[in-house]
Each structure stands twice: as C-alpha cells, then as structure tokens.
Amino acid sequence: MLFETVHDNLQALAHHRISSTRDAFLFIITIALAVHALYNKYEIQPENVFATLSLLIGLPTLASLALTPHVGSYGLGLILTLVVFYTCLLSSIVIYRLSPFHPLAKFPGPRYLRVSKLFGMWIASGGKQQIFFKRLHEKYGPFVRTGPNEISTVDAQAIPSVLGSQGLPKGPMWDAYHTPDGMESLIAMRNPAEHLKRRRLWNRAFSSASVKEYEPTVRSRVRQLAECLHRLGPKTSADTPVDLSHTFGCFTFDVMGDMMFGGGFELMKEGDVDKVWEVVEKGMENFALLQHIPWVMQILWKIPFISGDVNRLKVFCKTRARVRLAEGSQVKDVYHYLIDDDNHEAVKPTFEQVVGDAALAVIAGADTTATALTTAFYYLLRDPAKYKQLQEEVDTYFPADEGEPFDAATLAKMPYLNVTINEAIRLQPPVPSCTQRGTPQGNEGKLIGSYFVPGGTAVWLPLYPLLRDPRYFSPHPDDFLPERWLSDTKDDFVTNTDAFIPFSFGPANCAGKNLAWVEMRMAVALLMQRFQMRFAEGFDPLSWEDGLEDCLVLKRGKLPVILALRG
C-alpha cells in the first residue's frame, strides 16, 4: 500500500541498531528517496492532510531517531535530519524532472519550467501569460513542455483530441475553483459525466429559441448603452472623453443581471455601488496566479481575509437569487432554465449549485463580451477606413430614418459587421490562455496530434498564440484585417476556420456564445449608426494593447474616446 516502502525501512530502524553516523545519513536519504517514489506513483495532493503530514513531517521526525545517538542531542539530530531529508527530496525531484527518464522528456521547452509550477505562477503575476505562451511556441514549436507534468499545444489537429467530445476532461487548474460550500460552478467540474448533466441546463438556457426570447431585454439594454454614452459624452461636452471600456463593462454586467436574476444590476445608471465588478477583477487576478498551484486554494478558502472578496460576490448572488425566486419573472430568463423550472431533469440542481452557476454567468458572460466589444472598437478606431466601411454597411442595411439596427436575422447576415467582430476576438480572445485539460492520472494516456501524451499530464491549448499562428492565419497574423474572413479574398489569405475557436470547442465550449453574438452585433450596429468616434486627444492607442493583462479573462485598461452624434 501507500506506506509499504517506508514501513520496511522503519522496520530496519526498529530491529537493527544503525551503528554509524554514515549509516544514519544513508537511512535518511533512503527515506527521502522513498517518499519521492510514493509521491511520483500516487500523486498525493497537499490537501490530503494526513498523508502530507505523515510523509513530510512524521517520517523525517522518526528518521531523526537514527541520527540522535550519533550527535548526542535530539534537537540537533532533528535539524540535521530535516536538512538532509528535504535537500535529498528536492534534489531527487529536480533531477527526475530534468532527466531523460521523465515521461515528458521528449517535449521541448525551457528547462526551468520543468522544475516547478512556481515559475508559471511568477509569469502569470506579470499579466502577460498569453504573450509568454506565444513566444514559447514561436521558439519551440506546436508542442511545448510548460511544467513538471504539463504541456501546451497550438496544433489545430490536436483540438478535437483535447477539447472534443472524445477529448480530455478538465485539467488540475480547475481545482482552484472548488469551494468548500458546495457552490461548484459548471466551469470547475472535472467529472465529464457530472459536467454533461449540468450542461444540459445551460444548453436549454442558451438554445436559439431561448436567446430569441432574450432579445427584447438585450435591445432595451443596448438602447440604454447608447443613452449612457450620449449622457457621458456629447450631451455633456463635445470634448468630454468617455471610457468606452468601462461603459461596455457596465452594459454587459447589466445584461447578465437581467438574464440571471431578472434585474438587480444597474451599473450604467448607478455605477458599481455594490462593488461587484471590483470583486470580480480582484478574484480573477488571484485565480490567474493560483491556478498554477491549485491545491493552495483549498487552504486559502478557509482564511476569511483572503476569501472575503469572493464571499462578498457569493453573498450578493445569493441575495439576488432569493429575490428572483421570491418575485418570479414575467419572462423566461437564464435563471428559469438553471433551476429547471420546466422540470426536464429527474433531480433538480441545489440552490448552491444554481448560485454558483449564476456567479459564473455574470463573470464569464459579462467580462468576456465587454472585452470583445472594447477590442472591436479599439481596432476600428485605429483604422478610420475600416471604421467608415463598417458604418456604411450599417447605414445600408439599417438606414437611420427607418429605425434601430435590432433585427437579429439581418445582423447575422451583415458580412463586414461579423468579420470585424471575428477579427477582433481572433487578435484578443477574451479568455487568452486558460483552456486547460488533462489526461487522467493512472490511465494509459492519449494520442494528441502527432504526440502520445501519458496519463497525469495537464494540457494547455492557449487561444492567443493559436489564433495568431501564421500556419492558420496569414499573412500578417498580428494585424487587424477583417477582410481575411471574406469569401472574395480567400485567395489572398490563409484563414483556417478549424483553428478559430475563441469560444472554445466541444462539450465544454462557451454555452452563452449565441447570446454574446446578439449583444455584440446589436451594440456595435447601434453605436455605429448613432455616433462618430475618435480617440481622445493625447491618448496613445498602442498603450491600450500593451496594457492588456491575462487574468484568466483579459483585464482591460481605459479606452478614452470622443463621441459626436451623427447628423
């Protein structure tokens, strides 16, 4: 069993006196190597408190009894034992991870990344993880080893093997999202069967028919967005800059408040009085770091001053959910489907599960859509010719004197509108790198692309480098060129739609992408119809792109623009 090897060594200590200092040190070294072997075979997680304390504290403490008689003091014997034990254990781990005998030794990559995930955490702390992944793949190729038991791939042929219906389950990073109160959201579920069961609720909530029912709510909020921009900009002063990024964030949070709780979020009208957005941003920054050492979160969840911000968001969502349950709703919203109000499921989800999913929807649905909108206008404003081309298309399909551009079917057919959004989210996918899956521990592994990946391996498929890979998008993969998506330019560009997965792919893809497309199309079209925009005086456009940070989702800086009503 787990302690069999160590038990045999301790028997030697119990029945045979270790006669020399040299033998005592050899015994301690043997114990350290045995502990490494146990960890390597059984992948014992730190949250397994008994095993962790027994192996890392109990065993070296017992082993010190072998050294004490030779140094004359139990205290000195314990100190020397711990120094030798941990030095040997860490050396053994590092040597093995760097050795040609490691199962991932064939994958190229920086040697320091093979040693510890602490390096990944340090890279994530700079907010440029997506850039780091891109540089790694540019240097080492489509498969790179990025951790002791982790690889990253940007091979389009690997997408079905990693993310598809016969692909891999969620990887270990998602353990960081497992809260002790049972509010496990869909995004954190690593069991494929359980995920599929919960996902059925989401699929019904975001089916084409359901999204059609949401359109009046979206139209109302898009009108409010235009009015908000008018109030902040030209209605105040022709030269008053408006932070487009912040306003889009308020808009999308309000929409998701309507979808999840029948209202309750009024950021466009009142500002972030409940500090919801602030809490979300702080939480994402912390998760971006701790996803590299997810076991730490099981400890941190129990520390109030660390988990307080996340708990505030939970309390807010619980409060809104109870109000929604008490008051009901005149229309079918997302919450209607998540609580299974139509009784499709044999076993209904718990209140905690529904609230966990509601919190996920607020974060994933709001922040990502706001990023896509901000990115689209950022690139359009950098290229006035493309801005004008899209505006002319909107005017053609929806003349201003014939009403607002809210017909979803017509919007879906507008070529330049849709390729503009495509190109914006290609260049800046709202979730730039965090699409980790993993081969289950103990299985035989899986063939991914042209590589066999052994069991117990985490597999990243980062979207930022994938969507800028010149094999799939060229020429000029780093440039904003919406025309690369148009059918009449297909001979001028390589545009591999199989590699274009900004909403992820397979059974765990973005459930709300249909709603996101309706929001984005309506918002872009109405703002193009009503306003003429330009960057604020003195604003350096390149600073906005340079300031983007990979915090699980993209964290955006201010985007100051001057708006003028069109005549």
For CA atoms 312, 315, 321, 324, give the dihedral sign. Answer: negative
Which residue, chain included where needed, has tokens 């309507």? 258
Closest CA relative to residue 222, chosen from 190, 192, 258, 197: 258
d(Cα 279, Cα 219) in Å, to the nearest integer?
A: 27
Closest CA relative to residue 324, chosen from 358, 353, 367, 278: 358
Contact assessment for residue 192 and residue 324, using Cβ atoms and an 8 Å cutoff = no
d(Cα 168, Cα 160) in Å, to the nearest integer?
A: 9
Label each residue of 272-301 as H, E or C. CCCCHHHHHHHHHHHHHHHCCCHHHHHHHC
d(Cα 183, Cα 188) in Å, to the nearest integer?
A: 10
Instruction: Kindly calculate the radius of gyration of the chain based on its CA atoms and give it in whole angstroms.
Output: 27
- Residue 480 backbone phi and psi in degrees, to 5: -85, 100
d(Cα 72, Cα 286) in Å, to the nearest integer?
A: 47
**At 539, is the secondary structure helix, strand, or coil?**
coil
- Contacts for 335 with CB less than 8 Å, ≥ 6 apart: 259, 260, 261, 262, 321, 324, 329, 354, 358
d(Cα 427, Cα 466) in Å, to the nearest integer?
A: 10
**At 206, is the secondary structure helix, strand, or coil?**
coil
Closest CA relative to residue 134, chosen from 488, 477, 374: 477
User: Which amino acid, residue 332?
Assistant: K
State yes or no: 250 annotated in a binding site.
Answer: no
d(Cα 514, Cα 238) in Å, to the nearest integer?
A: 36
Strand order across the beta sheet in which 560-565 lies: 242-243, 560-565, 531-535
Q: Tell me how long the chain is.
A: 567
As annotated, the binding site includes 510
As annotated, the binding site for heme includes 510
